[in-house]
Amino acid sequence: MYIPFADCDRFQGLRPEGPRQRTSRVGGNVIVEEYGPTVEKGWEKVFDHCEKGKPLGASWRPLRMEISPEDENSGKLPLGDFPLLGLSTVPVFSRHAVDALGELLKGNAELLKLDYRKGDYFILNVTRFVDAFDEKKSKYKCFSNGGISGIDRIYFHEEKLGRHPIFRIPQFPVQIYVTERFVRRAQEAELVGIEFEQVWPQDNRRKKAVR
């Protein structure tokens, strides 16, 4: 089992379109002002739903995106097929990635179109939950209320996994897991900007970058 993540060192990320800052000098004072569009309302709901696997499709409308103007590599790096969305864990797929992996996504996730002028990109909201987490063997940290805050080493009940190529677990829904089949398909399609880290089984731990 693997977790997917964006290659932020070699590929550009996206962020919700919002105001930029510019400075000017008036007399001896430096004035900082914002200009451009404000961040669209609704992003908090998007992050809340898409980090917990709650469906959004019925009420979805495309939200505007941009390359982060504050990023030191802004405009210098390619965007790739799996750009990071701000500082969130919400996955974004390119049209190429959707076309390549579409069969594996059906019934397991919803695709939410984004408004980005330089290409077709989609939030991937994984709605498939598989209750196969082995709490006794896994090593994890908890909040004071008992909820899991992070997993250091994960184990699954293999007999409960089923055949879903991409899924979440109810105990820690912020994390997405994908199977070897999913990784192979991504590699065959030569997707860029996405890497996979094997997290289970532990005896064959490795990182697999598509490119």
Please indicate whether residue 9 or residue 174 has the higher confidence score (pLDDT).
174
Phi and psi at residue 56, to the nearest 5°: -125, -10
Q: Which contacts of 118-123 are long-range, i.e. CB under 8 A and separated by 24 or more positions?
A: 118/79, 119/79, 119/94, 119/95, 120/94, 120/95, 121/14, 121/65, 121/83, 121/92, 121/93, 121/94, 121/95, 122/92, 122/93, 122/94, 122/95, 122/98, 123/46, 123/50, 123/85, 123/90, 123/91, 123/92
Q: Where are the alpha helices (DSSP H) in the chain?
A: 43-50, 95-105, 180-188
- Distance from C-alpha of 199 to C-alpha of 187, rounded to nearest angstrom: 18
Whole-angstrom distance, CA of residue 55 vs CA of residue 124: 11
Residues 6+ apart with CB under 8 A from 96: 81, 189, 191
Summarised one tens digit per residue, pLDDT across range 123-173 is: 999 999 999 999 999 999 999 999 999 999 999 999 999 999 999 999 999
Residue 183 in 3-state DSSP?
helix
Separation between Cα atoms, residue 73 and residue 82, nearest integer Å:
17
- Residue 34's pLDDT band, with cuts at 50, 70 and 90, is very low
Between residues 144 and 39, the one the model is more confident about: 144
pTM for the whole structure? 0.84
Q: Provide the pLDDT confidence category of residue 12 given band limits of 50, 70 and 90.
A: confident
Does position 95 have pLDDT exceeding 70, yes or no? yes
Q: For position 144, what pLDDT does the model report?
A: 94
Domain limits of the chain? 2-18+37-209
Q: How far apart are the C-alpha atoms of 127 and 166, rounded to whole Å? A: 9
Q: Give the Cα separation of 27 and 150 in Å (integer).
A: 51
Angle between helices 95-105 and 180-188 (to 10 degrees): 150
